Chain A
Amino acid sequence: MEFRFDNTQDYVHVVGEFTFTDHAAFKLMIDRLFEANSSSVTMDIGQLQFIDSAGLGMLLLARDAAAKAGRKLVLRAPTGQVKRMFGLTKFDTLFTVED
């Protein structure tokens, strides 16, 4: 998994495959995302090609960490396998997911 911030601190693109072994990169990304002064932070997952159950679990942990910090985590534009995994696990009911 790779990530890329736009000019703003509260919007990040997540690219590639996201599995258990990507934890360190994910933690780094979350720490930086939560440095933003916005009440809402967005993870654009339009270029994320694959996620497994551990990746889904880490997204949930990030959502909970965001809530503790008084922020809302928005997931944007899931496609392909990622979108299907969201549907399969009813993940779209646990998150704010935007098209």
Chain B
Amino acid sequence: MNAETAELTSSLKSLRLGRWDGVSPSSLSLALSPPVTQCVETGLEAQLRAQRRRIVGQLSLLVTTKSAYRHSVVRPFIEAISKRTVIDGDLHERIYTAIQEALMNAVLHGNLQIETGARESLEGLTKVHASIERLLARPEIALGMIRVDALWSAKMLYVIIRDSGHGYRKDKLPSSAEREAAGKLSSGRGLSILESICDRVTLIHGGSAIKLGFRL
């Protein structure tokens, strides 16, 4: 490769790589503007380099746990997909509901390891929030990674949400009947909502990632 080709390749790569400052959803929208295919939040560049070969999405986003918790990152991500392929109104709402659900699940249970049972009263929730703030004050936890990849064809859109946790097994989750019998109705319905609104739901990598499929 001569110097001119190398420079051109490098410039194309930099056009396709977006960098998000983690400040606001609007700055994320800008960072995801076409022709970007991979967008990384400041501080996660090394993780992007380490994972680059495994990134399969036509649009990928790497964000920190702290930003995924503090900012609405899902709306700019879906807007970015809709600038690259057509998503109609009803599907837009279903995709937003599903990705938001899966992303918050990845943040709370994957990266922050919050137990579902801790949210069974308003007072319990207050304690959970206080413990989340303590966890996010620790840089090694706040900078944990959440990755969202989107792939699409003319017929299907897939979105994969990955956390940095240990995963879980679906058969180990209490059923809705078991939750009802235990009087625990206020949490634990995320996965069943995903199964209702997505056309396909697959837990992958031992439950540390979830693949959501939507017919376009």
| A binding-site residues for B, Cβ under 8 Å | 17, 19-21, 23-24, 27, 30, 50, 52-54, 56-58, 60-62, 64-65, 80-81, 84-85, 88-89, 94
Contact flags B97-141 to A (C-beta < 8 A → 1, else 0): 100110010001000000000011110011011000000000000
> Is B189 engaged at the interface, CB distance under 8 Å to the other chain?
yes
The list of the 10 closest CB pairs from A to B, nearest first, reads: A57-B186, A60-B186, A53-B190, A57-B187, A53-B189, A61-B122, A61-B186, A23-B125, A88-B196, A81-B93
Sample of 9 further A-B pairs with CB below 8 A, known A17-B72, A21-B70: A19-B100, A23-B125, A53-B193, A54-B104, A56-B189, A57-B185, A61-B186, A81-B93, A89-B193
| B interface residues, tally (CB under 8 Å) | 27
In the complex, the answer to whether B104 meets A85 with C-beta atoms within 8 Å is: no
> Is B214 engaged at the interface, CB distance under 8 Å to the other chain?
no
> Is B96 engaged at the interface, CB distance under 8 Å to the other chain?
yes
Contact flags B34-72 to A (C-beta < 8 A → 1, else 0): 000000000000000000000000000000000001101
Q: Give Cα A12 to B126, complex, Å.
A: 21
Q: Give the residue of B93, B119, B122, B197 whose beta carbon is less than 8 angstroms from that of A65.
A: B122
Query: What are the residues of chain B within 8 A of A56 when measuring CB–CB?
Result: 189
Closest to B125 in A: A23
> Closest approach, in angstroms, between the C-beta of A6 and any C-beta of chain B?
23
Q: Give Cα A83 to B109, complex, Å.
A: 27
Given the known interface contacts A61-B186, A62-B122, A88-B197, the answer about A52 and B104 at a Cβ–Cβ threshold of 8 Å is yes
Given the known interface contacts A27-B126, A61-B121, the answer about A89 and B100 at a Cβ–Cβ threshold of 8 Å is no
